[in-house]
Chain A
Amino acid sequence: MKAPSPAPAPAQDGIESGGGVWRFPADRPLRLDSGATLSPLEVAYRTYGTLNADRSNAVLVMHALTGDQYLASTHPVTGKPGWWTRVVGRGLPLDPDRFFIICANVLGGCMGTTGPGSTDPATGAPWGLSFPVITIADMVRAQAMLVEALGIETLFAVVGASMGGMQALQWAADYPERIFSAVCIAGAARHSAQNIAFHEVGRAAIMADPDWRGGAYEAAGVRPEKGLAVARMAAHITYLSEAALQRKFGRELQRDGLSWGFETDFQVESYLRHQGASFVDRFDANSYLYITRALDYFDLAAAYDGQLAGAFARARDVRFCVLSFSSDWLYSTAESRHVVRALNAAGCRASFVEIETDKGHDAIFLDEPALDSALRGFLASAAEKRGLA
Chain B
Amino acid sequence: MTTALREDFREILRLTPPGARVLDVGCGEGDLLDLLARERGVDGQGLEISAEGVAACLARGLAVVQGDADRDLDSFPTRAFDMAILSKTLQQMRDPRHVVSELLRIADRAVVSFPNFGHWRVRWALLARGRMPETRTLPNPWWSTPNIHLCTLHDFLALTDDLGLAIESCAALSEGRPARPIDPRSVLENWRAEAAVFVLRRGG
Contact = CB atoms under 8 A, between A and B. Distances in A.
B61 A384 contact: yes
Contacts of A347: 77, 80
A374 B51 CA distance: 11
B66 interface: yes
10 contacts: A344-B72, A344-B77, A347-B80, A350-B63, A355-B51, A377-B58, A378-B61, A380-B61, A382-B61, A384-B61
B144 interface: no
A349 B63 CA distance: 7
A134 to B, nearest CB: 32
Given A344-B76, A347-B77, A355-B51, A373 B63 contact: no
Contacts of B55: 353, 370, 373-374, 377
Given A350-B65, A351-B65, A374 B75 contact: no
Contacts, number: 70
B79 to A, nearest CB: 10
A340 interface: yes
A226 interface: no
Contacts of A344: 65, 72, 75-77
Interface residues of A, number: 28
A381 interface: yes
Nearest to A370: B55
Interface string A322-362: 00000000000000010011101111011111111000000
A7 B153 CA distance: 74
A352 B61 contact: no
Contacts of B72: 341, 344
Contacts of B67: 337, 340, 352
Interface in B33-68: 43, 45, 51, 54-55, 57-67
A346 B75 CA distance: 9
A354 B51 CA distance: 7
B76 A345 contact: yes
A352 B57 CA distance: 10
B75 A373 contact: no
A213 interface: no
Given A341-B72, A381-B61, 8 more contacts: A344-B76, A344-B77, A351-B54, A351-B64, A353-B55, A377-B58, A381-B60, A384-B61
Contacts of B80: 347
Nearest to B46: A351
Interface string A292-324: 000000000000000000000000000101000
Contacts of B60: 377, 381
B61 A353 contact: no
A352 B54 contact: yes
Contacts of A377: 55, 58-61
Top 4 closest A-B pairs, CB basis?
A381-B61, A341-B75, A377-B59, A377-B58
Interface string A116-152: 0000000000000000000000000000000000000
B59 A340 contact: no
Nearest to A383: B61
Pick from A342, A345, A377 the residue with the most CB of B within 10 Å: A377
A352 B59 contact: no
Pick from B55, B60, B77 the residue with the most CB of A within 10 Å: B55
A353 B51 contact: yes
Nearest to A342: B75
Contacts of A341: 72, 75
Contact of B77 (A345, A354, A378): A345
B45 A352 contact: no
Pick from B61, B67, B77 the residue with the most CB of A within 10 Å: B61
A384 B60 CA distance: 11
A380 B62 CA distance: 11
B121 to A, nearest CB: 38
Contact of A378 (B45, B58, B65): B58
Pick from B51, B59, B60, B65 the residue with the most CB of A within 10 Å: B65
B63 A351 contact: yes
B76 A352 contact: no
A351 B44 CA distance: 11
Nearest to A381: B61
Interface in A149-203: none
B58 A356 contact: no
A349 B47 CA distance: 12
A377 B59 CA distance: 4
A116 B67 CA distance: 43
Given A347-B80, A349-B45, A353-B51, A319 B58 contact: no
A68 B73 CA distance: 39
A86 interface: no
A273 interface: no
B75 to A, nearest CB: 4
A92 B80 CA distance: 35
Pick from A356, A374, A384 the residue with the most CB of B within 10 Å: A374
A376 interface: yes
Contacts of B54: 351-353
Interface string A363-389: 000000010011011101110100000
Contacts of B66: 352-354
